[in-house]
A and B are shown apart, each in its own frame.
Chain A
Amino acid sequence: MTGQTDPRDDLPDHLSALRAFAISLCGDVSMADDLVQDTIVKAWTNIEKFTVGTNMRAWLFTILRNTFYSMKRKRKREVPDSDGLLAGRLCEKPAHDGRLAFNDFRRAFSQLSPEHREVLILAGASGFSYEDVAQMTGVAVGTVKSRVNRARARLSDILGLAEGEDPVSGADAATIAVIGAAGVRAA
């Protein structure tokens, strides 16, 4: 059995990604470090639950997000929800040069619910498939897809950009209605 390797040897390879996911998820570096530490200890002591040959990163991310939600539930009892405070703060309109300023984006991202941040990071930034994300978050693939869409729409909303909507068209329609009504009266 000399060919048998310990899957725990692969854990260091995932440290950076785990921490990046943790930071993106909770937006707080010290909480992120606690999360990564708990995740590594859990993975280490429960390594027999990992199926060799499957995606270790997905397995670790799943442990981390589950730890995050239970930590959050615990902390909620102790301190008021900071998400609510953040969400109430409006960010200024983006500069109209057609590009999103990264700082505005980051601020808007931090105002999303953890569920929305999670799904955007997993499916949008870290390259997991919808199927992977569904498995990791314990919901159906369809739910992942609609959650991604809602998260994007919410982001656009906070950034003051209505997705696929032209703000001028409303005014145009009103103008057309007035012209139309005038036309009817004249006739």
Chain B
Amino acid sequence: MKEGDDGKSKLRAQIDENLKRVYQEALEERIPDHLRDLLDRLRQKEAGK
């Protein structure tokens, strides 16, 4: 019983670790220029009104 719980929490920890890695890898991807410039464009558009 104890061993089963142990395996379960170990598996859970591994899932969490891998989930963080999925997110972290996406986080480290370079943001494309058109997205980076989007906020500037919105601001300019508003200033030009």
Contact = CB atoms under 8 A, between A and B. Distances in A.
Given A33-B35, A41-B42, A120-B19, A19 B26 contact: yes
Contacts of B19: 109, 120-121, 124-125
Given A44-B42, A164-B8, A17 B35 contact: no
A25 to B, nearest CB: 10
B22 A100 contact: no
A16 interface: yes
B18 A19 contact: no
Contacts of A20: 23-24, 26-27, 29
Contacts of B20: 124-125
Interface in B22-44: 22-24, 26-27, 29, 31-32, 34-36, 38-39, 42
B26 A164 contact: no
Nearest to B38: A40
Contacts of A40: 35, 38-39, 42
Nearest to B5: A164
A79 to B, nearest CB: 23
Interface string A129-161: 000000000000000000000001001100001
B31 A166 contact: no
Interface in A1-56: 8, 11-12, 15-17, 19-21, 23-24, 33, 36-37, 40-41, 44
Contact of B22 (A12, A33, A36, A125): A125
20 contacts: A8-B39, A12-B39, A19-B31, A24-B22, A24-B23, A33-B32, A33-B35, A36-B35, A41-B38, A100-B15, A105-B15, A105-B18, A109-B19, A125-B16, A125-B19, A152-B12, A155-B15, A161-B11, A164-B4, A164-B11
Interface of B: 3-5, 7-8, 11-12, 14-16, 18-24, 26-27, 29, 31-32, 34-36, 38-39, 42
Interface of A: 8, 11-12, 15-17, 19-21, 23-24, 33, 36-37, 40-41, 44, 99-100, 102, 105-106, 109, 120-121, 124-126, 152, 155-156, 161, 163-166
